[in-house]
Chains A and B, each alone.
Chain A
Amino acid sequence: MYAVRLWSVRHAKGLNRFYQAFEKVVVALHPLWNKIGYEKLEAPFQVLERATKGFLFDCQMCGQCALSSTGMSCPMNCPKTLRNGPCGGVRPNGNCEVKPEMKCVWVQGWAGAERMDGNLEKIKDVQIQVNNAIKGKSAWLRVVRMTKKVGEFAPKPPKAPPAKKPVAAAPAPAGEGKAA
């Protein structure tokens, strides 16, 4: 909800503090999540995240939450989904170029960042393009896996020296490039 979203930016400092503590707890519970299995937890976590972050931030479930670097203003609510700062079309009153009735997500973002930390360090992080393959997935579980270096973040084993005999009957990778 728009009004709640604006409230969240006004309370960015408190929310960020709460999230930092929450993240520590969720990461510490990794052995438990691992026992249950990350696959099984995905659906209930998605419901939970959608409900809480949806209520507070109008979260769009991009699956790669950047709220701590965007002053608690969700960048996916920007009609251009800009993740690094405002475009050049912001109106003189600080409202959005595309939706004139809405405050610019990034004018809000910078205001939230000022409340979070005076140095504005986190907001200077360059965000890369969205990974569309993980849209809708749980960003919290992803953070745990990232911190614990498991799942998709597990360190890749060093490349084995090329086998002398080519592995027989290795199936050709399906799809890519083959069908013309």
Chain B
Amino acid sequence: MSELHFDPAAPLPSLPGHSSGGRLERILRSGRFAVTAELNPPDSADPRDVYDRALVLSEVCDAINATDASGANCHMSSVGICSLLTRAGYSVIMQISCRDRNRIAIQGDVLGAAAMGVQNILCLTGDGVQAGDQPEAKPVFDFDSTSLLNCIRGMRDDGKFLSGRKITVPPRVFLGGAANPFVPPYEHRATHIGKKIAAGAQFIQTQYCYDVPMLRTFMDKVRAQGLHEKAFFLIGVGPLPSSKTARWMRSNVPGVHIPDAVIERMEKSKNEKAEGKQLAIDLIQEIKEIEGVHGLHVMAYRQEEFVNDIIHASGVMKNRQPKRAPRPAEPVSVLA
């Protein structure tokens, strides 16, 4: 038997009412405003590409989202990224998309991820293969995001695979689902999220929010159904690099809604990049005041260097400094 002297991915001591040993769940359950951020996955086999990007984000976020071929474009896998990050003591949210793997593969990945120290899992439907760089691929969609949540909750709470076969040590994970309040059917989006929560979602991360009035309408419905008391809502934000990119995103990235007024504001400014950053800060300050919002999810594609500034300028962290798991005093050795 071999064992690490020091395990940076070891879970925190279990607390009553907590389903994971992770830091994100603790932050949220203790009523603090949480920040998560998406890591832009590398197109390489070099672990340093992951660590470099994580370092920038980790100073200002409570957990890093490892995307699972988002936009149906192939990158380093979410399992791989999580493996690297957990061994370095980072808190991660492993994203699972239903597009590429069937139920057998996904249940296995959940166990593997939990064994590596993944404490949070975000269940997603996934963009269609037509949106990505390999539209010839076979779409799987054996689960949908809701049935996937239900499956992983069963693995955790009942300790069973879908087949009913017993899992000796169940995965202790905090489960999340995604919401997009900015596309039709608008009036039913909150009810749909209620379904995800009923299936096991404990936190919700939303698509990019550039339309605060629309978010308010959605959150009104969320509160009317009492959903903000059953799950934590983290609202998606991100800086726009230019009005040109904003237009491109709006017409090419599925599910992104950017109002004309936002694009006009960008166009009128002298320095579009700085304006995009300021826009993100302004949005955050409006969003954080909405009742039922528990945190932010920052997606700053290829603008990771701005995340720190945006979070600090918006004041949401209140001088809180997220940390990695403590480092061992001496180098880690392995017992034979």
Instruction: Determine if A91 and B183 form an interchain contact, defined as CB atoms under 8 angstroms apart.
Output: yes
Query: Which B residues lie within 8 Å of A120 (CB)?
Result: 188, 191
Alpha-carbon distance A107/B187, docked complex (angstroms): 10
B side interface size, CB within 8 A:
38
A26 in the interface, Cβ–Cβ < 8 Å?
no
A110 in the interface, Cβ–Cβ < 8 Å?
yes
Instruction: Determine if B254 and A82 form an interchain contact, defined as CB atoms under 8 angstroms apart.
Output: no
Shortest CB–CB separation between residue A125 and chain B, in angstroms?
Answer: 8
Interface of A is mostly: loop
Alpha-carbon distance A111/B192, docked complex (angstroms): 14
Instruction: Determine if B103 and A106 form an interchain contact, defined as CB atoms under 8 angstroms apart.
Output: no
* Interface size grouping (class) on chain A: 20 to 34
With A80-B144, A82-B125, A129-B142 known as contacts, the answer to whether A97 contacts B131 (CB < 8 A) is yes
With A88-B125, A92-B257, A97-B128 known as contacts, the answer to whether A126 contacts B150 (CB < 8 A) is yes
Instruction: Determine if B195 and A126 form an interchain contact, defined as CB atoms under 8 angstroms apart.
Output: yes
A81 in the interface, Cβ–Cβ < 8 Å?
yes
B82-115 interface bits toward A, Cβ cutoff 8 Å, 1 = contact, 0 = none: 0000000000000000110001000000000000
Residue of chain A at shortest CB distance from B194: A124
Query: Which A residues lie within 8 Å of B139 (CB)?
Result: 79-80
B202 in the interface, Cβ–Cβ < 8 Å?
no
Query: Which B residues lie within 8 Å of A50 (CB)?
Result: none
Instruction: Determine if A89 and B183 form an interchain contact, defined as CB atoms under 8 angstroms apart.
Output: yes
A85 in the interface, Cβ–Cβ < 8 Å?
yes
Alpha-carbon distance A126/B183, docked complex (angstroms): 22
Instruction: Determine if B141 and A85 form an interchain contact, defined as CB atoms under 8 angstroms apart.
Output: no
Shortest CB–CB separation between residue B330 and chain A, in angstroms?
Answer: 43
B108-152 interface bits toward A, Cβ cutoff 8 Å, 1 = contact, 0 = none: 000000000000000001111011000000010111111100110
Contact of B147 among A79, A83, A90, A93 (CB under 8 A): A83
With A124-B191, A129-B142 known as contacts, the answer to whether A90 contacts B150 (CB < 8 A) is no
CB interface residues, A 90-129, toward B, < 8 Å: 90-94, 97-98, 104, 106-107, 110-111, 120, 123-124, 126-129
Instruction: Determine if A80 and B128 form an interchain contact, defined as CB atoms under 8 angstroms apart.
Output: yes
Instruction: Determine if A92 and B184 form an interchain contact, defined as CB atoms under 8 angstroms apart.
Output: yes
A87 in the interface, Cβ–Cβ < 8 Å?
yes
Instruction: Determine if A110 and B185 form an interchain contact, defined as CB atoms under 8 angstroms apart.
Output: yes
Query: Which A residues lie within 8 Å of B150 (CB)?
Result: 126, 128
Alpha-carbon distance A43/B91, docked complex (angstroms): 54
The contact sample of 15 A-B pairs, CB cut-off 8 A, is A79-B128, A80-B141, A84-B145, A84-B199, A88-B125, A89-B131, A90-B180, A98-B130, A106-B185, A107-B185, A126-B150, A126-B195, A126-B198, A128-B150, A129-B142
Which 7 A-B pairs give the minimum distances between C-beta atoms?
Answer: A88-B180, A89-B254, A84-B146, A98-B128, A85-B192, A88-B255, A82-B144
